[in-house]
A and B are shown apart, each in its own frame.
Chain A
């Protein structure tokens, strides 16, 4: 199954670039759901966390290039919030790399498409790795469960030896 990705894009740059990518017939994965914001400065930490609560596998925040924000510093503020949200994700045990900020100018349709493809690939790889680790640890757990009665006996023996 394709990863579910939410992209918060600013109206003036990244969203226009996404639109241009379409006009230029550039291919990018259909699983990217774009949310248009007036500026990435509108990005709130809760918005980003909520996306993960609502089953997003990855979240992109895409704004103007540094120095060319339509609202001067919106993208710089967004970057700080993305960093903060990454820490919040890490605290709950979610790989913070599942959330990334990108800077894409309005004219860079191909860059938007490439970024979307690369990010989707990265998230897909992460999901695969996680499920491998999970399967591995479940296998381990089963083994431990089988081994448990033996361990208990050993512990009892140890204890009785200690009491003597």
Chain B
């Protein structure tokens, strides 16, 4: 089987020749710049540049040689942009290592060691990363004081939210003339030159955009106090997301295999909201996104949601979501056995392969191996599983454990 056939077989719940693997195809199944820098040094490949393609989350784009070395089966089509050294400029990581930012990203170092990002007026603070932190935080919330009368200014305001302003590739090129043609061209070229499955990361976040616009605390209260306003803003967002999907489906819907949406609906103890609230406000809109993709492309639908979401999963599946990530198995009611038994027939798990809180960061390579083998045993039966860590590999993960993790996958696949 080729990598692509393997991934597609798993999604179709046919047991593939071996369990497919991801690292780096999405910004929630990837590796942080510091962890990646440590990894390439450990592998004796410190000639490889550490390119921070997702600057907000400080994630590195793994080099093709690393992807091949670990037998990774899927690629983000965003990696076909910013391929020239001149697309990058040098920066320094919190651990002192050299790395690269896309040329358009120029945060300003403050006397206290933090980094700030300002709006074009040079005054409005949009995002900041405290000294020693490894993540840019949102500083500007457009509708923190209340909903606007009309949404004429929504596009502009969305553009001031860090997730949009400093978005990863390919979207950092979305405003370039001829972008959609270029995207198609690049994706076709990728399809011709690799046998890996292809992913497009296309947020379409609904709940999260509400929290970006209103701030988390306000938006959570709005769900109960102002459901009409929530519905109104969600419709505005949906309209924009559907317009994007139309272009995506047209440009690459016949080439790309998986489209990734995002919406963090869970915390450790349960979902952020009552399942009834999800059903009323979000489910119908998630369904519209999924329906559109299904009727206009060959792509499979994937959602990233952290936390304990098993109580929402029946509705998400019903809305048309086929693949779940990062499968936060350490959250309440998210035990791998339970998930596989309860939902294994109806969806694919993309993640949950090893705990990033505990085992991968603090365990020994042998403990990593044991957990990986155990998870593979539970999750891979009958397909429906793509091996990946629970969320991104953070700076605290030692490279020896990353290697042990991939070795264990190989061991399992070889048996």
The answer to whether A binds B is no
